[in-house]
Structure 1
């Protein structure tokens, strides 16, 4: 669904009148038109069908029908991009990811009720997320494959050519993604054969408190040892680390087949932290041996400069194609800048990574 010529039109769903008013005010101050509100999931379904907005902001815990059930109904009855508003707590991560599995396109932490110095940043993040969600291609975002329930021990049939080069052991892969990325990251990592012995770093734009749960999902759905990255740790072949929300992930050095990782604070870059550019650029400087970077679906230009640094350093670069990208923003800019060696659909990226190692 595309936005109208007059700008982005939104429906706000929350059982708290105060929260609905707060979200409406933040969005309208940011140039988003709020065309209607709803106080629960059942009302949301009717309101979306009536007003046909570009995007819906959806609370999770509500009476009569919760946000997860409402997302599933909306995606069936009146397909519309839904942005989940999740309480900023790790215990809410499971239900937030379930909402993504049911069809929500992204999520953002719910703004607090108090007025603080952080409010301008909260407003900017909310408005950016709403505008990004509004342009998601639902025909792509809706194609969610059922992930395996057990950790795979070998490459999935048809996803990887069987021959893994001996030189792959100890090679490094950096994957960057934003809106629409979690499901694609799961597919790519799940398609990498454990016997390749790769060292994998994942930068998914995601708030603090959710990246640890995302790492657990990836650990259960791939043959790699996946965890949220810790400052100062070293990782070797067969291990993958997810950049924590709220920190930039830096590759410090590469010795004896192991990468040393550092977490850095500092300002947001391109409005996000972790930033893909930081991890890719540091990998270009520190990694010895084969290095492949992958830029997946997402709005903006994070990762473009990082891919450029990797290409200059002699590494391989892969971008997701337009047809399978929920938002063809970051990969498009990398392709237009000439930084992508290969442009591949989501289902072929894992095989493409192994192919770069053969070459």
Structure 2
């Protein structure tokens, strides 16, 4: 029987979460703080952990670090729906947690019933995650505490986080096409892999990058700020009517679909909408990819990364039909292979690559000697 360790300083939340997962056939263990969680992991070897972020004594962030260093286990973070909670959650994901779920705010409400359904869905996805691609690395580079960004002149050069040369390394004198656009979609396990890919893109590529990471509002702005603090590109959360220029990365805003409305003189124009959820999510990868396929006249690449579900498959098809290049992350490097697998199944993926080789595939598509669009 699959076992779940529920870690929360609230007895009420331990009971609620424990009852929900027990009703779905899981064996439940519990701990009230990070230190007890570490002890329970070594004693009982749970299959999945749900981890509260803020707890007295050892908090969830430190517990994640220690567990992933000593006994890697799939971890689902449960965080407050606040800016502080979002920042802490992104830190936990950088340290090896697989996914997160925002708790409902306020006192006990009817939201708890829907929270239970979402917990079960997330636990099932996290339980099967391959941790090898998101395990902490010795050279993990994090933004300085309290950092909200740097000026373009002070940004570090893009680097390969693997600690050495890789197949995704780009020749210094390589020439690229003008005005390249990349649309990247990801869900479970995505933030850390997304970070690694963007770090490895050369400044000389000068791309426009649209990122659709399944996250709720209040988390996507913190993701954008985190990326902006160490990438050589300007990173922002999407805003309605925004113009995107070369060398800019835009993260889709949680709770809104991100559409491309025009591509004029190398610049993109964006629109945010609150249309119906697609595949149960908003923002949806398909919406951004499909509108990019319709309206981007410059060279275009679509990338499907780790995550559960099928969002992005129709978008990949649309980009391929429009003459763009399509890339999917391979199974071996995907914590959760749902999104890439569904994209590959369409028959419209040009290249299936490991996470470390995705940057090289993007660069190959935009190399002057190889790239064509339309």
- TM-score, normalization: structure 2? 0.87
Q: 1:151 aligns with which of 155, 159, 167?
A: 155
Stretch deviating more after TM superposition (41-50 or 215-224): 41-50
Between Structure 1 and Structure 2, how many residues are aligned? 350
Q: Secondary structure at the match of 2:235?
A: strand
Which residue does 1:262 correspond to in 2?
Answer: 271
Aligned equivalents of 2:79 and 2:158: distance in 1? 35
Select the residue among 211, 224, 241 that pairs with 1:215.
224
8 Å CA contact 2:3–2:29 kept in 1: the answer is no
In 2, the alpha carbon distance for the partners of 1:264 and 1:47 equals: 45
Local SS of the residue matching 2:359: helix
- Counterpart CA distance in 2 for 1:164 and 1:93 is 38
Does structure 1 residue 284 correspond to structure 2 residue 293? yes
Among candidates 240, 246, 264, match of residue 249 of structure 2: 240
Over residues 305-332 of structure 1, what are the superposed CA-to-partner deviations in whole Å (9 max), with x where a residue is unaligned?
Answer: 1101111111100111122111222112
> 228-237 or 42-51, which moves further after superposition?
42-51
CA distance in 2, matches of 1:268, 1:135: 26
Q: SS at the partner of 1:293? A: strand
Hey, what does 1:299 align to over in structure 2?
308
Q: 1:67 aligns with which of 56, 60, 68?
A: 60
The residue aligned with 1:331 is 340
After superposing the two structures, state which structure 1 stretch, 149-158 or 13-22, moved more.
149-158
Question: Which of 88, 91, 96 in structure 2 is aligned with 1:95?
Answer: 88
Unaligned 5+ segments in structure 1 are: 1-5
Q: Secondary structure at the match of 2:9?
A: coil
Question: 2 CA distance for matches of 1:133 and 1:54?
Answer: 9
Task: Answer yes or no: is 1:40 the counterpart of 2:33.
Answer: yes
How far has the Cα of 1:24 moved from its partner?
2.2
Shift of 1:163: 4.0
2:349 to 337, 340, 352: 340
Superposed CA offset, 1:5-60 (max 9, x none): x5x4311111111111222233345x252421111112212223333222111111
Q: Distance in 1 between matches of 2:142 and 2:32?
A: 36
**Following the alignment from structure 1 to structure 2, what is the Cα–Cα distance between the partners of residues 241 and 102?**
23
Report whether the alignment pairs 1:253 with 2:262.
yes
Is residue 56 of structure 2 the alignment partner of residue 57 of structure 1? no
RMSD: 2.0
Which of 115, 119, 138 is the aligned partner of 1:122? 115
The 8 Å contact of residues 9 and 34 in structure 1, kept in 2 or not, is answered as yes
SS in structure 1 opposite 2:231?
coil
Equivalent residue for 1:86? 79
Aligned to 1:308: 317
Judge conservation of contact 2:325–2:350 (CA < 8 Å) in 1: yes
How far apart are 1:152 and its partner, in Å?
2.4
Structure 1 pair 321–22 and aligned structure 2 pair: CA distance change class (3 A): same
Q: Which residue of 2 aligns with 1:272?
A: 281
Q: Report if the CA contact (8 A) 2:328-2:343 is conserved.
A: yes
Query: What secondary structure sits across from 1:179 in the alignment?
Result: coil
**Counterpart pick for 2:180 among 171, 183, 195:** 171
Unaligned 5+ residue runs, structure 2?
144-153
